[in-house]
Amino acid sequence: EQALELAELLKNIKKLSYVNLIPYNPVSEHDQYSRSPKERVMVFYDTLKKKGVNCVVRQEHGTDIDAACGQLRSNTM
């Protein structure tokens, strides 16, 4: 699992690192991607925490107006 791989990469610098888990915010021009279910994000988070990695799941804001993280971009009319 990728969470275990990330924890392994950070094992020697855990005290110096902090991981922000930011769920994917959809954008219309990249509809081939989708957001992971919340349960899957939490399993990833729990795995990192159990391995001693400092991390947080970022709260989302602005998805409803296409202004969330990763959504800000130029729109033409």
Query: What does the mean pLDDT of the chain come to?
Result: 81
Among 16-20, 27-31, 36-40, 67-71, the range scoring the smallest mean pLDDT is 67-71
CB 21 within 8 A of CB 56: yes
> Please, which residues bridge with residue 56 across strands?
20
In the prediction, which pLDDT does 46 show?
Answer: 98
d(CA 73, CA 26): 12
What digits encode the pLDDT tens for the residues 30-60?
677 777 889 999 999 999 999 999 999 987 7
Backbone angles phi, psi at 14, to 5 degrees: -55, -40
Looking at the predicted structure, is the pLDDT value of residue 28 above 80?
no
48 burial level (CB within 10 Å; 0-12, 13-18, 19+): buried
pTM of the model: 0.74
